[in-house]
Amino acid sequence: MKKKYAKKRDQNKATAKEHMASLLKQAEEIFNKNKTLANRYVKLAREIAMKFKCRFTSEQRRKFCKHCYSFLMPNKNCRVRTRDGMLIHYCLECKNYNRYKYK
């Protein structure tokens, strides 16, 4: 199984990216019902990202806190502000700031 993985690495990377995107989408959908499960999806997505050395897109990176990796839902567990052309997400779970460039 592992050898097969090595041969098809590029293909697997594409599959991994799709999987990461779908996990984050599912996390978003489940968040209102089950926050713990949403966080678990984020964790799984990160594990896939690390295993296949994939990066999250900037859009995907904004969906979770980079300190505690909780799924962030504006007005639920995160406060969104803009300042000096930066988008600031204040995570209410771990009380840390996440800053992103604002387009």
Among 21, 30, 44, 68, binds Zn ion (CB under 5 A): 68
Binding string, 10-49, against Zn ion, x = CB under 5 A? Answer: ----------------------------------------
- Per CB under 5 A, the segment of 26-34, 40-48, 53-61, 83-91 that binds Zn ion is 83-91
- Per CB under 5 A, the segment of 8-16, 43-51, 75-83, 89-97 that binds Zn ion is 89-97
Residue 56 phi, psi (nearest 5): -75, 150
Residues 48-67 that bind Zn ion (CB under 5 A): 65, 67
Closest distance between Zn ion and the C-beta of residue 14, in Å? Answer: 30
Euclidean distance between CA atoms 70 and 67, whole angstroms: 8
Q: Which of 50, 55, 53 lies closest to 21, judged by CA?
A: 55
Q: Label residue 65 exposed, middle or buried (CB < 10 Å: 0-12, 13-18, 19+).
A: buried
